[in-house]
A and B are shown apart, each in its own frame.
Chain A
Amino acid sequence: MLGRLDIKYSPYLYIAPFFVVFGIFGLWPLIYTLRMSLYDWDLGSTVETAKFVGLDNFVMFLKDDDFWNSVVNTLALFLMSTVPQLILALILANALNKRLRGRTLLRMGVLIPNITSVAAVSIVFTQLYSRDFGLINWLLGLVGIDPIEWQAHSWSSWVAISSMVDWRWTGYNALIFLAAMQSIPRDIYESASLDGASSWRQFWTMTVPMLRPTIIFVTIISTIGGLQLYGEPLLFTGGGNPLLGGSDRQSQTVTMFLMEQFYMKFELGRAATVAWLLFIMILVFSVINFLFTRSLRSADGTAKKKKVKR
């Protein structure tokens, strides 16, 4: 009897912790955020005292230059930290896929940046980029380039911050690509090289198209991560009020903008609005990425067919 009950009901018991904890700390805040975004809600507000404003918060931000500035920064950072990262990861994976001496050590070597902490990475890189004593300006000086004040402009902040992200994630993604590369049957390469296809050509016309599902997946994951960038730009900005991203908001990302509403201005309703706008942004870009990487597929697919005909 007990055994029967056990088999019938215990599965629900085993999955219950997830749903209970997620319900309280995930789902409920999510619904509440949506509600708050429709109100003029500050630190002292309660459900009773907050004023319902409908979509006013959304409309206000869509007209707000500072919000769009943070969107531009986020998108630039996302592009500059995703595109080079994925290309480098593919090249690295291809190299790691050869027969190598010291294979494990090499793999550990490229993965090590991923095992560090965000704050530590940001602090070290910020020092490397520092105007007066930074190694990078010193190196640039050797080839005759004047010291750059990396924090002072948007473009230079983008370069510096995205280099941190690239550094941290390239090796990790290379290992993901490597795993996928190893599942490609080897004989197709052998026949291709017997046909005289160069290894570079094999890489672009065979390996890359076959990695498509993995590339799509990694791109979407990088999109979700990239659009939420927070720790790196915050620590890079430094100064009196890092949440603003500098005096001209040079390096303020959307999450920093959210925190400005929340933690500096105590506009909770508006912070909730920015959270939803960010979420929508992530969804939109995931879909765009998906469509884009899928369209790569058809281009490569036709290229491959032609090759077979030959």
Chain B
Amino acid sequence: MTATAVRPGAREAAPAPSKRRKSMGAAERLWHASPLTYITLLAAVALSIFPLYYMFVIATRTNDAVGQTPPPITPGGEIGSNVDRLVNNEGAAFMTGLVNSAIVATVVTVFVVFFSSLAGFAFAKLRFQGRNGLMLAILITMMVPTQLGIVPLYQMMYEWDLHNKLPSVILPFLVSGFGVFMMRQYASQAVPDELIEAARMDGCSTFRTYWNVVLPGLRPAIAVLGLFTFMEQWNSFLWPQIALGDPLNPTVQLSLQRLSQGYYNDYSQVFAGTLLSVVPLLVIFIIFGRQIIGGIMEGAVKA
């Protein structure tokens, strides 16, 4: 699929300061970060953070502040009352949305990680007939956009009486072709064949081998797949909008949409909602930022 193959353990080798040369040669200068480099990067970081900062500013201001000229750019102290209005806004069902999204994203993440690592292990380390053909089939499924299935899927959920219920947004996403592929790539290189053989010699069943030997070895890939699955589910929009038509049982994204369209006069309330919807993701990002970046860069995520 791509050139960026998974290279577990191949930490990105940043240009280490060369100690061989005392003066700065032409080659040295190549990796030297000029002031312009820093200016470019800092400008990019500032632009990246600004909308989030602005979200925070409006969420902590009174609604009147939004209409000021020039627009406000420093935070205020009104976050409490804004969140209050948000939480008590029954039409928006924001807290229900927050809880629903947490449930959906967590359940889907656990299943995707489990099924993907199990299948990835089988494809990478076990021999069986049709292995390559079946793997190819999984890769092809990655090409299919969600849009293609939504109409019949909607009817299906309706018939099974799952419409407006959380299983309707969970069930279709319990497996991920991308996840299987990623786990296969990682397992084939991070888990040595000798280890699997040794486990077999000791009389481990294949499942015990998976559970005791393979799974611990897959930990970095699992962390990344888990985080990305969680974020994808947290952000999912189109299908939940169809499947959860009941305004009182939304996901957090749907609640935000209703908030922004129904209460557009109360910006500070809406922005308090956007802030709360982003905070869980930001917390995850701050804790696992290094792993997320490592995961993206090892190509595992994109491969």
Residues on A facing B (Cβ under 8 Å): 3, 6-8, 10-12, 14-15, 17-19, 21-22, 25-30, 32-33, 36, 91-92, 95-101, 103-104, 106-113, 115-128, 132-135, 138, 167, 170-172, 175-176, 178-180, 182-183, 186, 189-190, 193-194, 199, 202, 213-214, 217-218, 221, 224, 228, 230-231, 234-235, 238-239, 242, 255, 258-259, 262-263, 268, 271-272, 275-276, 278-279, 282
Contact of B2 among A104, A124, A217 (CB under 8 A): A217
B15–A193 touching, CB < 8 Å: no
B41–A110 touching, CB < 8 Å: yes
Q: How far is the CA of A128 from the CA of B49 in the complex (A)?
A: 14
B231 at the interface (CB under 8 A from A): yes
Q: How far is the CA of A212 from the CA of B123 in the complex (A)?
A: 29
Nearest-neighbor residue (CB-CB) of B293 within chain A = A107
Give the shortest distance, in Å, between B22 (CB) and chain A (any CB). 17
Nearest-neighbor residue (CB-CB) of B245 within chain A = A263
Contact of A213 among B3, B47, B128 (CB under 8 A): B3
Q: How far is the CA of A221 from the CA of B149 in the complex (A)?
A: 20
Are A17 and B174 CB-contacts (below 8 A) given A120-B256, A189-B27? Answer: yes
Instruction: Encode B274-303 as 1/0 by CB contact (under 8 A) with A.
Output: 110110011011000110110011110010
Are A179 and B119 CB-contacts (below 8 A) given A28-B152, A118-B253, A279-B145? Answer: no
A29–B152 touching, CB < 8 Å: yes
B4–A180 touching, CB < 8 Å: yes
Q: How far is the CA of A275 from the CA of B145 in the complex (A)?
A: 9
**Assuming A112-B282, A235-B260, what are 13 further A-B pairs, CB within 8 angstroms?**
A6-B206, A14-B206, A15-B180, A29-B148, A36-B152, A95-B41, A109-B49, A110-B44, A119-B252, A138-B70, A167-B48, A179-B12, A279-B145
Give the shortest distance, in Å, between B254 (CB) and chain A (any CB). 8
Residues on A with beta carbons closer than 8 Å to the beta carbon of B144 = 26, 30, 279
Q: How many A-B residue pairs have CB under 8 A?
A: 315
A119–B256 touching, CB < 8 Å: yes
B122–A99 touching, CB < 8 Å: no
Contact of B152 among A33, A116, A127 (CB under 8 A): A33
A182–B40 touching, CB < 8 Å: no
Are A99 and B205 CB-contacts (below 8 A) given A26-B144, A175-B296, A194-B26? Answer: no
Contact of A238 among B67, B145, B175, B260 (CB under 8 A): B260
B278–A120 touching, CB < 8 Å: yes
Give the shortest distance, in Å, between A88 (CB) and chain B (any CB). 8
Residues on A with beta carbons closer than 8 Å to the beta carbon of B23 = none
Residues on A with beta carbons closer than 8 Å to the beta carbon of B155 = 268
B37 at the interface (CB under 8 A from A): yes
Residues on B with beta carbons closer than 8 Å to the beta carbon of A19 = 134
B9 at the interface (CB under 8 A from A): no
B3–A180 touching, CB < 8 Å: yes
Residues on B with beta carbons closer than 8 Å to the beta carbon of A194 = 26-27
Q: How far is the CA of A234 from the CA of B253 in the complex (A)?
A: 12
Contact of A30 among B26, B29, B131, B148 (CB under 8 A): B148
Are A108 and B285 CB-contacts (below 8 A) given A15-B119, A175-B297? Answer: yes
Residues on A with beta carbons closer than 8 Å to the beta carbon of B199 = none
Are A117 and B15 CB-contacts (below 8 A) given A214-B4, A228-B145? Answer: no
Top 9 nearest A-B pairs (CB, nearest first) are A29-B149, A109-B45, A213-B3, A190-B27, A25-B172, A120-B274, A32-B152, A98-B33, A179-B297
Nearest-neighbor residue (CB-CB) of A109 within chain B = B45
Contact of B52 among A99, A116, A228 (CB under 8 A): A116
Are A92 and B41 CB-contacts (below 8 A) given A12-B128, A108-B293, A112-B49? Answer: yes
Q: How far is the CA of A109 from the CA of B264 in the complex (A)?
A: 30
Give the shortest distance, in Å, between B301 (CB) and chain A (any CB). 8
Q: How far is the CA of A25 from the CA of B150 in the complex (A)?
A: 9
Give the shortest distance, in Å, between A20 (CB) and chain B (any CB). 8
Contact of A119 among B13, B121, B260 (CB under 8 A): B260
